[in-house]
Amino acid sequence: MTTSNMAHASAPPPIRPDAVWRRLLDEATAPYRSAGRFAWHFARGKLGRDPVFRHLLESGLIRRPARVLDIGCGQALLAHLVPASHRAEAAGQWPTAWAAAPALAQYTGVELMPRDVARAQAALAGRDDARVLCGDMCEVPFPDCDTVVILDVLHYVDIAAQDAVLARVHAALVPGGVLLLRIGDVDRRAGFVVSQWVDRLVTWTRGHRVPPTWGRTLRDWLATLERLGFVAEARPMSQGTPFANVLLVARKPGETAAPVPSVSSPAA
């Protein structure tokens, strides 16, 4: 064997982002086996198909260590994905192209639907760093936090209620904290209508009543966030889907503000 062959043979294999993501998906969804077949299949389908979760990890948008508040958390997928990421990084299994993995200090999920809360709590059994509260985001008090995640939730309440939730989120965030808010852009009519119908279908499949919804334009969302004191930017977040989803990265300015990583966003 030549010297270059020996060097080649001993080089560690490259860490491939897709392979890392598949392992994270396996690890983050394994706890749902104890919550029943539906919970496990739903978790795998959601994490596997929705581009936002991988984007949150690879772009370093979740502060570290983070007290995460996940509003409208459903089955609380992030409560498993964030620690799985931290473990992967600690084991040297983290792609160099990705931002540093997030670390979870504390996770609080808020979810209206008791069935989702039950599935989330079953998967979190034995964890003391994560809890899921069953209640209405318009009423549940929010704990102090570093990162707030609201994915596809605010359209379930009217505009005044949306603004009231956002104002309370601003108050709960530490200076420099980040709100990660995914919304549908009403201006992109076709994608918005498709996402609303899929949303209704999924809500019905999960055994819930299908509620009315309230949408607004991306311009309106950005203006509202600015009025409430956030500094916000929009990233397309529906690649690989027919939706008009946008991730709003909204920072609460403050002395301890960490720069929001500005990796290139995936195309819509």
Give contact residues for ligand SAM (rule: CB under 6 A): 46, 72-74, 77, 110-113, 116, 136-138, 151-153, 156-157, 199
CB of 50 to ligand SAM, least distance (A): 7
Question: Which amino acid appears at position 218 of this protein?
Answer: L
Report the distance separating Cα 39 and Cα 117, nearest Å: 11
Shortest Å distance, C-beta 102 to ligand SAM: 16
Beta strands in the chain, from DSSP E residues, in sequence order: 66-71, 104-111, 130-134, 145-151, 173-184, 231-236, 245-251
Choose between 95 and 215: whose C-beta lies nearer to ligand SAM: 215
C-alpha 262/C-alpha 89 separation (Å) is: 21
Q: What angle do CA 205, 164, 51 make, to 5 degrees?
A: 45
Closer by beta carbon to ligand SAM, 94 or else 250: 250
| Comparison of 154 and 268: residue with beta carbon closer to ligand SAM | 154
The Cα 252–Cα 264 span in angstroms is 22
Sequence-distant (≥ 6) Cβ neighbours of residue 261 within 8 angstroms: 59, 60, 61, 99
Cβ nearer to ligand SAM, comparing 88 with 148: 148
Cβ of residue 153: shortest distance to ligand SAM, in angstroms? 4
Minimum distance from CB of 226 to ligand SAM (Å)?
Answer: 24
Least distance to ligand SAM, CB of residue 87, Å: 21
Quick one: 94 or 116, whose CB is closer to ligand SAM?
A: 116
